[in-house]
Amino acid sequence: MQTDIAIIGGGLSGLALARHLARNLAREGCDFQLFEARSRFGGRIHSLQHDGAAFDLGPAWFWPGQHRIAALAEALGLERFDQYAKGAVSYESETGEVFRNMGFASMQGSWRLKRGMGSLIKGLAEQLPSERLHLDHEVQAITQPGEIRFRSGQRWQARKIILALPPRLAAEISFTPALSREQLRALQNIPTWMGGHAKFVALYKDAFWREAGLSGDAMSRSGPLAEIHDASAPGALSGQKPEPASPAALFGFVGTSAVARQGQGQEAKLTRAALAQLSRIFGPQAAHPIKTVLQDWAQDRHTATPRDLIPPNQHPAYGLPVALHSIWGGRLSLCVSEVAPEMGGYLEGALAAAEQTAADMKKELI
């Protein structure tokens, strides 16, 4: 089977690129196909659905000044709302002592999508011609000039191949001829943003912490959760029985290292410890969630590699390294948040990467 452009990866950057191509190039008779390894689209964007509400297990926020994502949400008819930030911020010391009124909520001013970030992916995928989108298509090998081999053994030919996946995962694809040492090293040296992290989400009948004057924000030196936020659906009300569609939730970024999280029994152990911690900080009701989920991105082979087990301790300076400016004379290129011209690592970066790639391709192909 054959196409002009193959997009490998159906996260936000791959789908946004497909949207640009469908709008700008398809009418010129230029065909594209998108191949995604998992049985779902979205990549690092993934929302848990519960009682008609969505809870983000990957990215949850976007911020003022991120115009692309704001515009995309609006174009898809998705409503946003403010991250809940009223009430006292808590701090838990190394010894588990809890202090109140510790500064301001760190995510105050950020926005969430009412139906979760997953609604962005659903909206994008629904707008694209379904015959061009292929789930369960994990790329294993690419041979010059453009043969793509999938895990299933299936093969496609493409004139141009765009890798819309984390650079470290791109480095694991078998390329013939092999990429140069500089190109391979450049791919391996780009950390997958948040790839080593895990999120713990606990759903509750109501937002009891709000009733107690707490924002849901907490920092902890005791753990296992290092940073906690209110993750309630927009309709969750303090002290009231919520509407069926608006359960309340708290989530925390897990502070336990990705290496220590591996192994049998670790998830249950971490869940017990996280609920005990939430009870220390927010009160005994926190010990009785409706549901909990631990999403460990470091153990997800379509997001992270062993190199991502130790995450960078600050936001890396992302962008496309010089060694990757022209691979195979431009027939192979990258389009993922980590190589974006701006806001690399963020959702906005994924959209910036897609915009840049679409503009480059328009110049090349028309």
Ligand X SMILES: Cc1cc2nc3c(=O)[nH]c(=O)nc-3n(C[C@H](O)[C@H](O)[C@H](O)COP(=O)(O)OP(=O)(O)OC[C@H]3O[C@@H](n4cnc5c(N)ncnc54)[C@H](O)[C@@H]3O)c2cc1C
Q: Which helix (H) or strand (E) holds 121?
A: helix 118-127
Stretch that binds ligand X, among 127-135, 141-149, 320-328, 340-348 (CB under 6 A): 340-348
When the beta carbons of 29 and 64 are compared against ligand X, the nearer one is: 64
Q: Does 60 bind ligand X (CB under 6 A)?
A: yes
Two tokens, residue 206: 């109501």
CB of 150 to ligand X, least distance (A): 8
Cβ-based nearer residue to ligand X, 106 or 279: 106
Q: Measure the CA dihedral 310/40/345/160, to 10°.
A: 110
Among 25, 72, 270, 336, binds ligand X (CB under 6 A): 336
Ranges within 176-205 binding ligand X (CB under 6 A):
193-194, 197, 199
Pick the piece of the chain touching ligand X (CB under 6 A) from 81-89, 118-126, 165-173, 258-266: 165-173
In angstroms, the CA 98 to CA 28 distance is 62
Of the chain, the end-to-end C-alpha distance in Å amounts to: 23
Give the range of 83-91, 92-100, 158-166, 227-235 binding ligand X by CB under 6 A.
158-166
The binder of ligand X chosen from 17, 21, 30, 45 (CB under 6 A): 45
Element (H, E) at 229: strand 225-230
Token pair for 275: 């609920």
Choose among 76, 98, 101: nearest CA to 87.
101
DSSP 233: -
CA-CA distance, 235 to 40, in Å (whole number)?
27
Q: Rule CB under 6 A: which of 2-21 touch ligand X?
A: 8-14
Residue 121 interacting with ligand X (CB under 6 A): no
Instruction: Spell 35-55 as b/e; 16+ CB within 10 A means b.
Output: bbbbeebbbbbbbbebeebbb
Encoding tokens for residue 103?
């500064």
148 scored as a contact of ligand X (CB under 6 A): no
- Taking the least distance from each CB to ligand X, the nearer of 238 and 305 is 305
Q: Between 15 and 89, whose beta carbon lies closer to ligand X? A: 15
Rounded distance between C-alpha atoms, residue 252 and residue 293, angstroms: 11
Residue 25 · residue 58 · CB < 8 Å: no
By rule CB under 6 A, what count of residues binds ligand X? 39
Per-residue binding string, ligand X, 293-322, x by CB under 6 A, is ----x----xx-------------------
Whichever of 199 and 210 has its CB closer to ligand X, that residue is: 199
From the CB of 288, what's the least distance to ligand X, in Å? 25
- Rounded to a whole number of angstroms, the minimum distance from the CB of residue 188 to ligand X is 15
In contact, 203 and 288? CB cutoff 8 Å: no
Chosen residue from 59, 242, 247, 252 binding ligand X by CB under 6 A? 59
Name the token pair of 38: 């998992």
In sequence order, what are the beta bridge partners of 249? 203
Selected range binding ligand X among 20-28, 37-45, 118-126, 270-278, rule: CB under 6 A: 37-45
Cβ nearer to ligand X, comparing 53 with 350: 350
Q: Residue 45's closest CA among 159, 256, 193, 147?
A: 193
Nearer to ligand X, 242 or 354 (CB): 354
User: Measured between alpha carbons, how far is 99 from 18 in angstroms, rounded to an integer?
Assistant: 49
Residues that bind ligand X (CB under 6 A): 8-14, 35-38, 43-45, 58-62, 138-139, 164-166, 169, 193-194, 197, 199, 297, 302-303, 336-337, 345-347, 349-350
